[in-house]
Amino acid sequence: MISLGIESTAHTFGVGIIDSKGKVLANVKDSVTTKSGGIIPLKAAEHHIACCDTVVKEALKKSGLSIKDVDLISFSQSPGIGNCLRIGAIVARSLSVIHNIPIIGVNHAIAHLEIGKLICKTKDPVMLYASGANTQIIAYENGKYRIFGETLDNGIGNFLDGFARELGLGFPGGPKIYDLSLKSKKYIELPYTVKGMDVSFGGLLTNLKQKIASKKFKKEDLAYSVQETVFAMLIEVSERALAHAGKKELLLAGGVGCNIRLQEMCDKMCVDRGAKFFVPQNEFLVDNGAMIAWLGLVQFQNNGRMKLKDAIIKPYLRTDDVEVYWK
């Protein structure tokens, strides 16, 4: 069975093609980039409209298949920016109707988790999902992927991009902060905000703006200290989720997961508590079509068929609203 998946929750329009053995045959994407960072929903939707045709064709070409070989069209149905989700859903419904292929809509965060499980061969991980807009600690318990902790305000990636903008580093900020952090080992005390199992970055960003304006601190010391602080917050909550849920595997997902320092800290925490740490290649950490194709295939093969009238977007549907019937 061949599944074609369409990702369009935010800045990325991605198309992935995967077979039932989990072999990724293509994973093509085109992402909106802006000088200042951030996403203007209408502009992102226009971007997706402009590139959808090319990305679908490119993915089919890479896989060596034609649309006639595709047995399932999967698309990201939730959660995400309405304007962006809608374009992916329209492309998916059009392909489904024109070529008479079954369709299925899937949850984006769960797709990150299931592709991570496939690529890294993990069984029952706690996932630290650290992306631009999302920061959640997710694990399976009692029929659902539960959110054990999450950000109370910004996603960590958006926070890092905001901090980088204040430093004049450009967008995307995460990698630039990482490069700068390598030039320092001087830790500056910063607000550390963990509330129960949740984290928050808003107050820290305000504090950093004040520090930058005071001109008393070196950029590289701030970059180093920011990483050490916010990643430690994520590690603390992830470790507690591992302990609480009694799990032994930590899986990283999301664009911020590409950060080598975050990966080192995850690994160290796991070694210390006798757990295993897993991180897929960057192409599967960031938003991508292959993860949507894979989750669609898994759900479809477990009686998750969807009527065309149900193949609509659900921008606000959370991970723990989804009944996990395929486990």
Phi, psi dihedrals of residue 315, rounded to the nearest 5°: -55, -30
258 binds, among ligand AMP, Mg ion, none (CB under 5 to 8 A by kind): ligand AMP
Query: Token digits for 114?
Result: 């299931």
Q: Residue 48 or residue 95: which is nearer to ligand AMP going by CB? A: 48
Site string for ligand AMP, 244-283 (x = CB under 6 A): ----------xxx-xx------------------------
- Tell me if 162 contacts ligand AMP by CB under 6 A: no
252 binds, among Mg ion, ligand AMP, none (CB under 5 to 8 A by kind): none
Q: Please, which residues have CB within 8 angstroms of residue 307's CB and are 6 or more apart in sequence?
A: none
Element (H, E) at 107: strand 103-107
Tell me which of 79, 125, 157, 289 binds ligand AMP, using CB under 6 A. Answer: 157
- Tell me if 131 contacts Mg ion by CB under 5 A: yes
- Tell me if 161 contacts ligand AMP by CB under 6 A: yes
Q: Residue 116 or residue 173: which is nearer to ligand AMP going by CB? A: 173
Least distance to ligand AMP from the beta carbon of 62, Å? 21
- Tell me if 178 contacts ligand AMP by CB under 6 A: yes
Neighbour-count burial for 8-35, b at 16+ CB within 10 Å, e otherwise = bbbbbbbbbbbbeebebbbbbbbbbeee
Q: Residue 160 or residue 251: which is nearer to ligand AMP going by CB? A: 160
In angstroms, what is the C-alpha Rg of the chain?
20
- Tell me if 131 contacts ligand AMP by CB under 6 A: yes
Interatomic CA distance for residues 186 and 40, integer angstroms: 36
Query: Side by side, which strands form the sheet with 144-150?
Result: 144-150, 135-141, 126-130, 249-253, 276-278
Catalog residues that contact ligand AMP under the rule CB under 6 A. 131-132, 157, 160-161, 172-175, 178, 254-256, 258-259, 286-287
